[in-house]
Copies of this chain bind each other. A is one copy, B any other.
């Protein structure tokens, strides 16, 4: 657990290795994951007070670089470019959130999963992966809570895609994309994010 909803956040992090999930909980236990962060991404709000509005939890073992918030603000005030850079990143993040909203608001189960796989694949490719493979360090429950589905629906969607020959599943956490164009088509994503760094929260 990195920090929890409502709690004060003392640092801004830059992930140097591993994966983080961000989520919010409802009182009755329903959970919505709002995003996953990977190596290179930034975690933490640039707001001054900043009690976390969501929970950040490790999906894998992590390595990160932590900046004390006050030090971070010092940088922010001192280097005018920094705020502008962060503003661009925040703008990109809003765009990403919109894409996600379209996915969970208007797409069916298989389309959601396809979009998820395609997006993750793009991020791994960016990170140097050359094979058409997606690593899924997170559980099916995490995927479901990210896509607004149940575990079972996620599992069935995987099976259907496998049955259609679009993917292979050598292990639950390793997916081979056998037909990337078909997957793209199913995902129906307008523009994959061109950026390399995500601003989390």
Contacts and interface: CB of A to CB of B under 8 A. Distances in A.
The size bracket of the interface on A is 35 or more
B97 A30 contact: no
A53 B83 contact: no
Contact of A80 (B5, B83, B148): B83
Contacts of A88: 46-47
A182 interface: no
Contacts of A45: 91
A100 B101 contact: yes
A45 to B, nearest CB: 6
A107 B145 CA distance: 12
**For the complex formed by this chain, how many copies does it contain in all?**
2
Interface in A77-130: 77, 80, 83-84, 86-88, 90-91, 93-95, 97-98, 100-102, 104-107
A9 B45 CA distance: 28
Contact of A86 (B87, B107, B145): B87
28 contacts: A24-B98, A26-B102, A26-B106, A30-B106, A30-B107, A31-B106, A32-B101, A32-B105, A32-B106, A34-B98, A46-B91, A47-B91, A53-B190, A83-B83, A83-B84, A83-B87, A87-B87, A87-B90, A90-B90, A90-B93, A93-B94, A94-B97, A94-B201, A97-B97, A97-B101, A101-B104, A104-B105, A106-B148
